[in-house]
Structure 1
């Protein structure tokens, strides 16, 4: 996925299928830069050439909240998979929108979790037979 650096905000631009990130010096740590990159990568998996998620929502509306929920959930999980962590505080800003979305349709959480897993697998597939991470429960 092409990434351009510069400017003052991070975003995914579906019309040109490109990620825009501020310069690395704008981030307070390398982990913050990597976490923001991962977040925008998750959004990019929704492009029509990949998972075809609806990326046309407006802030505060259910379509936007749904895409943000996919990105926020999967960024946390992808951060663990890539061992770059995530800053959950920044994801909390969307909590009110998620709550409204889940009140309207509680089943959307399961759909979003499935989409989030697929999105992360496009970026960094899980390796079958990989040893369990510390703290993970044995599925058997």
Structure 2
């Protein structure tokens, strides 16, 4: 009987010291800027040699901080870099270029560039939908057929909301998309050569 009482006393003392805590838990894909070793490397889907060289040159000439790795693509804004998975993890070179073109369009909205803001607060909202045309415009300029992604359904839903509230929103968004494409094109060596030739001719 004494041993049972002793156990009850110990349990009561232990219970008095216990505290409940809640913690926010995130998956690796929800955290930006982790070192490469934290990510599971995807199985290669395509041969890395199957690159679209003119697109690679175009992307490199923008001077954007493009980082490869992880399992998702994003532009974090304040940190001002573009993150994309490695080429081999995409189902085709076109899918890789479509994704990178999309993120580089977001990159142009930084206040040091085009200073564009559509009131985006979260992924898939109306502000986000307005941003999405730029990637399609850039792919067209690079003669790349954009490949539909799993998130395109959300973009369409976002556009349905936008158009419901403003029938002319598509024209404003298209103008911004063209401006973003023009900005990226103007960073290419050919654009600089053309400017130089025009100045010389004048």
TM-score (norm 2): 0.55
Aligned to 2:87: 24
- The answer (yes or no) to whether the contact 1:76–1:88 under 8 Å persists in 2 is no
The Cα of 1:89 is off from its aligned counterpart by 5.2
- Taking a change above 3 Å as real, the CA distance of residues 40 and 112 of structure 1, as seen in their structure-2 partners, is same
The Cα of 1:86 is off from its aligned counterpart by 0.7
The Cα of 1:88 is off from its aligned counterpart by 3.7
Residues paired across the two proteins, number: 124
The Cα of 1:82 is off from its aligned counterpart by 0.8
SS at match of 2:67: strand
Aligned to 1:37: 100
**1:121 aligned to 2:194?**
no
Q: Find 2:129's aligned residue among 65, 75, 84.
A: 65
SS at match of 2:71: coil
Q: Which structure features the higher share of strand residues?
A: 1
Segment of structure 1 superposing worse, 58-67 or 37-46: 58-67
Distance in structure 1 (CA, Å) of the matches to 2:117 and 2:101: 19
Distance in structure 1 (CA, Å) of the matches to 2:93 and 2:124: 30
- The answer (yes or no) to whether the contact 2:72–2:85 under 8 Å persists in 1 is yes
TM-score (norm 1): 0.78
- Taking a change above 3 Å as real, the CA distance of residues 79 and 8 of structure 1, as seen in their structure-2 partners, is same
The Cα of 1:35 is off from its aligned counterpart by 1.2
Matched ranges for 1:49-60 at <5 A: 49-54=112-117, 56-60=120-124
**1:81 aligned to 2:141?**
yes
The Cα of 1:60 is off from its aligned counterpart by 4.2
Deviations 1:41-85 (A, max 9, x none): 111111111111226421343222322xxx2x2322221211222
Where does structure 1 lack aligned partners over 5 or more consecutive residues?
129-140
SS at match of 1:11: coil
Over the aligned positions, Cα root-mean-square deviation in angstroms equals 2.3
SS at match of 2:83: strand
SS at match of 1:4: strand
- Taking a change above 3 Å as real, the CA distance of residues 74 and 65 of structure 1, as seen in their structure-2 partners, is closer
Where does structure 2 lack aligned partners over 5 or more consecutive residues?
1-63, 192-202
Q: Displaced runs of 4+ in structure 1, greater than 6 A?
A: none
Which has the higher Rg, Structure 1 or Structure 2? Answer: 2
